[in-house]
Structure formats: C-alpha cells, structure tokens
Structure 1
Amino acid sequence: MKNNNSGEGLKRELTTSQLSMIAMGMAIGTGLFLGSGLAIGAAGPSVLLSYTIGAFIVLLLMGCLAEMTVAYPTSGSFGTIADKYLHPMAGFLVRYSYWIAQVLAIGVEISAIAIYMKYWFPGVPGVVWIIVFAAVLIYVNATSVNAFATFEYWFSMIKVSAIVAFILLGAYVLFGTSGHENVGAKNLVDHGGFLPFGLKGMWIAVFISLFSFIGTELIAVTAGEAKEPDVAVPKALKATVFRLTAFYVLTMAIMLMIVPWQSAGIEESPFVKVMEILNIPGASGVMNFIVLTAALSSMNGQLYASSRTMFSLSSERFAPAVLGKLNKKGVPTTALTVSTIGIVLAAVVNALLPESSYAFMMGISMFGSLFTWLIIFISHLFFRREWEKMGGRKLPVRMIGFPYLTILGGLLLLSLMITAWFTDFKIMLQFGIPWLLFLSIAYFVIKKKNPNRAEKSDVLQDKETI
C-alpha cells in the first residue's frame, strides 16, 4: 500500500453515465422507497408540494456545486473549497460532518435491508442480514473503483427501470382500466383534503423529503476519479436532479392515487403496499426485491463516499496518515474499514430498537448532510467573488441568479434545519450541535499538535490550478 498525502493517486476511471448512475443510486434509496411513508404520514397528499420544494432547493444546491466542482475536481470537493474560500476550520467541520453523515446513512440503509428481508424471512433476526450484506458490499468497495462503479451502475439501472415500470403500471391502472373503483385523483382530496395537516404538515414533509435527495452531492466527491470532469460533472448533476424530480413527483402522485395516504408507514415500503392492493400475482415480492436492491445500492455509494472523505481528511493531515494509504488498485482500504462503524452501530440499534431503528438512524444521519449542503451554499458566495477577482478561467458551467438564488437556497435550507427541532426528528439537532462542538475542539487540538499543516489544500496552490 502507498501513502498519499497529496490527495492524488485515485484513478480517474468514472464516466459521465457512471457518475449519473452513482448519484441516482445514492438518492433513489430508502428515502423514496421507505422514507416516503414518513413524509406522506406528515403531510398527506400535499407531500407532492413538499417534494417539489425539496427538489427546488436541491436544484439550487447542484447549480452551486457544479460550478465549484469543475473548478476543483478533487476527492475533497466541497471540503477543499470550504477550506480555501471560508477557513481551514470550515473545511475540517464539513468533511468530518459529511463523513459521519455517510457512515450513519450506511446504518440507515442496512436497517432498511433488515426490514425488507422480513418479508421473506420473518423469523430471522435482522442482525443476520446486516452482517451478510455488509460483508458483500465491503468486499465490492475494497476491490477497485471500477468494480464499485459497475456494481452501482447496474443496481441503479434496476431501480430506475423499476420506477419507470411502476409509473407505467400505475398510469395504466389509473387511466387504462375501470376495474378499480377506489383509485384515482379523488384520493388526493378525500380523507381530510389535500392539506390534512395544513401548511405546517406540508413544510415538515419538505424536511423529510430532503433525505430522499441526499446523495446527489456524491458526484462532487467522485470528481477526483472522473474522466474529463469539466464535461462529466455538470452533465451528470443536471441529469440527476431533473430525473430525480420527475421520478419522485410522478411516483408519489401515482402512489397516493392508488393507496389512501393514511395507509402509509414504514413497517413496509409503500411501493410494496401498492402491489398488494393491485393484487398482481408475485408483484409485491418483485417490488420488495427492487427496494432491497435500492437499499444495497445506496449503501454501496455511502461506503464509497465515506471512505473517500476520510481519505481526503488524511491527505489534508486532519486524520492519521494511515487512512490516506491506497492499495495496489487505488482504493483507500484503511479509510474504508474505519467507515464501516455505521454498520456496527446499526446492528446494535436494530437489536435494541427493532421497531424504530430506521427512523432513529435516519434522524441522526441527516445533520451531517444538511450541514454540508449549507456550507456549500455559503462557500459559493465567497467562491464566485474570489474566482472572478483572481481572474480564474472561464468555467463551462455557472450558477444562474447569483448571489440571490444562492442566498435563497441557503436560507430555505437553514429554516428547514431549524424546523427539525419542532418535529419527531429533533434528534438530528440534539446529535448535530454537540457533534459540531466536539469537532471544533478537535480542530484546535489537532492544529496545536500539527502547527506545520498547510493552511490550504495542496491541490489549490496557485492560479495555474484555477
């Protein structure tokens, strides 16, 4: 194994289509297939507005991120940019927060996998499935970035194909047959109306919907291993956001017109419930396999993201040098090993709280991702001004409406994070605020012990880089 403190050494093997599928794979996971039940329960049919607003925030986020990522296509990505344009402490906080978010999100997905497997094997403890599937995905990630990308590409393809098939099947049931009297647009206004919990419920569901979009930012993390990042990154980001928005809004609308919203929950996927209600032989089992695939795909991507983020921290001397070592195939295996602690935590939580492990893990995992998103918005404000001031090259993609849309995105996201305090997801802030305090103390301790650490990333040395 070789140590890589320059931040280089990762192989640039990922294509535009692989980048898009990796991001789709991360985002189309339990947030849509299982977490959507939580959002529907909070907002009723108005969850359609919730997901639309959530998609708008993510669209603004991706605009900012695309511009910055083509400027600095590194494995550190938004952490490296925060380090340069805000403060080294900001880069430290955002990278460790993103790392812990991905580590905990691994626990979310593996908890969902345990739920899905109960469909076929109700008597087998969830911990067994956690161990089995974790071993498989750790092996895939440790092999090579190409093996990871291939696995992710085809798993994502299964999910995307399944969603398209679900949309077509749902449309046929709604508009092409007359044998289902209890389905149709009336389900969007019956049972308490379109806004059964008012605007408050709709707004709370916006917060929950953001969990479904977490993962789109992974394209920025993969930029360090992307072929032609100037072309691949913006194309992949744009395609991902619009595909996700269409998939989420269409699938949610069809689901709500077929299944009364009161039936939503997380004891099983709402998608599986749709198949059960339609009474298509074997379809519910097929759908359960698909949502299982979705969870495996997301978990696969999160293992990748967490290991590369830890690798970046090591390259910046904010983590032990051993975590920056690469194996012969260019994979940071030590960083990968450390990033599996979320699996252990999920196994413990699943054993102690088998009925609520998913919601608990989802709550504590969201803070790091949303904090990362907030820093991306803030970084972009400083990045654009500094880039133009320093005479940086003309970038192939620019965020429109600067600085107003950047500020709007940041304010909307901040208000949603504050909203969490008044919901069942209060645990996000109860975990996140102490976490930031801990990291702040750790930053000054590390800086004191390592006073020679470069204040800026080695990959951002001078104007030639930009």
Structure 2
Amino acid sequence: MADPLAAPLTGATPGLRRALGAGQLAMIAIGGAVGTGLFLGSGFAIQLAGPAVLLSYAIGGAITLALMGCLAEMTVADPATGAFGLFAERYLGDYAGFLVRYAYLFANVLAVGTEVTAVAIYMRYWAPGVPGLVWILGFSAALLLVNLASVRAFGAVEYVFSAIKVAAILLFVAGGIAVIARAGGGAALATYAGHGGLLPNGWWGMAQAVIVALFSYISIEMIAVAAGEAAEPERAIVRAFRATMLRLALFYLGSLAVMLAIVPWTQAGTATSPFVTVMAATGVPFAAGAINAVVLIAALSAMNSQIYTASRMVFSLAERGLALRGFARVDARGVPVRALLVSGSGIAVAAAIYAATPDSALAVMIAVSVFGALFTWGMIFATHLAFRARAGAPAAFRMWGYPWTSLAGLTGIVAVLAMTPFTAAFGATLLYGVPFVAILSLVYWLVLRRR
C-alpha cells in the first residue's frame, strides 16, 4: 500500500463550497458543544458529584483546551474536511485513519439520536400527552431539510440557534447572580455546603462526573471538520478556537456555579433540565417556560451541527475510498446529499430506543455514543504527537506546552475510558466500544487493506 506520507494533503475539498465565515465556524463549535450535555447532561453530573461538579467540569475543560490547541495547530497547517481523520492517516498510518473516521462517524450519528431524544423530553413540558416519537420525527425532518438546502443555509440557521443560546446563558448567569445578591452570599454558601457538603459522594463521584463533563464538551472538534468549507480557514480557525474556549469556560462553569448556589444539588435531576428547575425556583413568571424553549433550541442546534459533521465525515470516507464512492457526490449547491441522509440514521436508532424504553432512552444513547468521541479525542492527541515529531513546530499557530499537554490529554482520555465500567450510567460504553473497534479492525484487515 502506498505510503500515506507520500502524497501531501491538499487542504481543498473538491465539490464542497468554502462558504463559512469565522463567526459561523465558532458558532458551529458552540452549537455542538453547548447542547444536551450542558442543559440536560449536567443533571447527571450533578447527581454524581454534587457541588464538586465544578471541579469535574474544570478538569474536562482543561482536557478540551489541550485538544483544541492540538487541533488548531494541525488544522491551520492543512484545513480540509474530515481533518483529523486525514491527519491520523498521514501521521499514524492508514489503519489509524480508518478507525478515527468510522469511530467519529458513528459517535456523531448516535449523538444526533441523543439530541433528538432530549428534544422529546423537553417537549413533555408543554405537551405531556403527545407521544415523544411525534417530536423526534417532526424535528428531524425539519433539520434534514435545512442541511439539504446548502452549507450557507446550515451556517445561517446554526448561527441564529447558537446566538440564542449564548444570549440565554448570559441572561441566566446575570439573573442568577441577581437572585443570589438579593438572598445574600450566606444563603448561597449554605446551599453549597448543605446536603453532604462540597463532596457529598467523595472524590470518586467527582471523578465519575468528569465523564459527563467530557461528553458535554464533545463536538467542539467540529471546527476542524468544518474547516474545509471555511472561506478563510487559517484565520477563521484561530479566531474560532480562541472565542470558543472563552465562551465555553463562561457558559459551563458560570452557569453551573450559579445553578448550585440557588438550588440544592439534590434537586437537579434528569426528568427535566436543571436550568428549568432553577428558573422555576426563582418564581419569575414564565421564566421556566422560556428557559425550556432555549434548551429545546440548544438540542436542535447541537443536532443540526452533528448532522452536518457526520455527513462531512461520510463524504471524507467516500472520497478516500473507505466507503461507497457515491457518498462523495454533491449536488449543484455543493451538498453531499447521500452522505447527509446516512448521517441522519441515528434518528432511527433513537426512535427505536425511545419507543422501547422512553424513560431511560437518553442515558442509553449517551452511554453508547460517548465511546466513539472519546476514542477520537485520544487519537487526536496521539496524532498531534506524531505530527510534531515528523513535521516540526508550525509557524502560523503553535500549541503551547508540547509534548506535555498532548501527553496529559491522552492520559486523561484513557483514564476516563477506564472508569466507565465502574460508573452505572456508562457501564455500556466499553461493552459497545471494544467490539465495535474489533469489528472495524476485521473489516479493515480482511477487506479494505487489500485495496
């Protein structure tokens, strides 16, 4: 087989249109990373860690920051759709590139199902008597149509969705601070210290919540996937990287800190968003309904981003001969229609699981979708180590702390995956993930490698 290093990556993706600006690129990353993981998944994390969930999200944020630095450095050097799959192929070999592409593809396909499952949960607030499958199928059809229109239409819709989320979270944090100020700092401290203290479930509970925190941050890597359709990729990627990290630090840590100061951690369940619980506790008229509308938009936004990302990964696979060539075809508007329809298959999985077990559907979808994403993150850190060893330090953007930041990030991902069998909510993660990698490996070595 030809040496993957023999032919340089072009940075341009034939057929797709470079129509995304720096602002849209940043909003795509926020669209994926600020969704169900924050608005509903944070309830799982709080139940595991109590107030120490802030430390869990800080640890997850540090790993995410290191990942974004690695991705920004490699993507600025070569912006192309499906970037980290191409980088893994180039610097770790064909087999690694194959595994990364398919692991990430399945993670996003299942994540689409995760978000649409959350949509069904949010709609119970207004229409508890309507079957969740109605909302799953209806909203899914609408977002597929948006993605089928054009990448510009997708970017515009995602920008609006993400802007609404940004504004709502800022208002939530500001309003929460006002409520805390009226009640007095002592009341906030009492809320933190009560019900078992800062570490009610010990350090192990805090460590388990890191898994949920990382799940919440997953999808921020979409910046690299979308780079192949950015108008000015080198400038846009660096700007999006910096803006995204600052916003995520404020959104996640700021909103959780405010939430835990107003409502005891024992009341942050998963039957509805803990954000809705907090707004209901403030007594402000219509506040709970308004925030429920926002978390609904957040789930739709994340779902929109994940449909887009999965379709571009299918396109990348087909372009490299690792999937049917027909999936690399685009229409007159530059949309890979066939790849897009495949990326929506997670909707069918979610619908089936929701129909079978509506009360536990979200937990099941999170557990099985998180493996592919964490595997991909670990491979990104490994790829960055190989990238620097072979290509040297780039001039345009340089990741700080090499190689220690990359090694620390890789170690963190391995540790989190090792914890999943001992965490009830994620017990199925490795049970799904290990056989999945084994099947992919067999397909590669028995079929694709011969090509």
- Three-state SS of the structure 1 residue aligned to 2:396 is coil
Which residue is equivalent to 1:441? 442
Give 1 or 2: higher helix fraction: 2
Which residue is equivalent to 2:81? 75
Identify unmatched segments of 5+ residues in structure 2: 1-11
Which residue is equivalent to 1:53? 59
Deviation at 1:188, TM superposition (A): 1.0
Using a 3 Å threshold, how does the CA distance of structure 1 residues 181 and 54 change in structure 2: closer, same or farther?
closer
Which residue is equivalent to 2:218? 214
Deviation at 1:174, TM superposition (A): 0.4
Using a 3 Å threshold, how does the CA distance of structure 1 residues 183 and 117 change in structure 2: closer, same or farther?
farther
Deviation at 1:446, TM superposition (A): 3.1
For each residue in 1:372-405, what CA deviation from the matched residue of structure 2 results, as whole angstroms up to 9, or x when unmatched?
10000000011011112xxx8x431111111111
Distance 2:118 2:78 in 1: 35
Distance 2:449 2:196 in 1: 59
CA contact (8 A) 1:7 1:315 kept: no
Matches of residues 32-431 of structure 1 in structure 2 within 5 Å? 32-175=38-181, 177-178=182-183, 183-388=187-392, 394-424=394-424, 425-431=426-432
Amino acid at match of 1:314: A
Deviation at 1:368, TM superposition (A): 0.7
Amino acid at match of 1:52: A
Using a 3 Å threshold, how does the CA distance of structure 1 residues 185 and 86 change in structure 2: closer, same or farther?
same
Distance 2:325 2:406 in 1: 36
CA contact (8 A) 2:318 2:324 kept: yes
Distance 2:297 2:72 in 1: 28
In the alignment, is residue 12 of structure 1 matched against residue 18 of structure 2? yes
Q: How many residue pairs align between the two structures?
A: 439
Moved over 6 A (4+): none
Deviation at 1:207, TM superposition (A): 1.1
For each residue in 1:267-316, what CA deviation from the matched residue of structure 2 results, as whole angstroms up to 9, or x when unmatched?
00000001111111111111110000000000000000000000000000
Identify unmatched segments of 5+ residues in structure 1: 1-5, 452-466
Distance 2:188 2:402 in 1: 42
Amino acid at match of 2:168: A
- Three-state SS of the structure 2 residue aligned to 1:184 is helix
Distance 1:327 1:166 in 2: 42
CA contact (8 A) 1:70 1:395 kept: no
* Structure-1-length-normalised TM-score: 0.92
Distance 1:259 1:448 in 2: 55
For each residue in 1:127-153, what CA deviation from the matched residue of structure 2 results, as whole angstroms up to 9, or x when unmatched?
000010000000000110000000000
CA contact (8 A) 1:318 1:446 kept: no
CA contact (8 A) 1:73 1:220 kept: yes
Deviation at 1:448, TM superposition (A): 4.8
CA contact (8 A) 1:44 1:197 kept: yes
Distance 1:106 1:204 in 2: 24
Distance 1:117 1:160 in 2: 21
Distance 1:79 1:387 in 2: 17
CA contact (8 A) 2:77 2:396 kept: no
Distance 2:286 2:95 in 1: 53
Deviation at 1:203, TM superposition (A): 0.6
CA contact (8 A) 2:111 2:346 kept: yes
**CA RMSD across the alignment:** 1.3
CA contact (8 A) 1:183 1:259 kept: no
- Three-state SS of the structure 1 residue aligned to 2:395 is coil
Distance 1:49 1:348 in 2: 36
Distance 2:196 2:385 in 1: 43
For each residue in 1:382-437, what CA deviation from the matched residue of structure 2 results, as whole angstroms up to 9, or x when unmatched?
1011112xxx8x43111111111110111011101111111010211111101000
Distance 2:245 2:185 in 1: 35
- Three-state SS of the structure 1 residue aligned to 2:447 is helix
Distance 1:118 1:308 in 2: 32
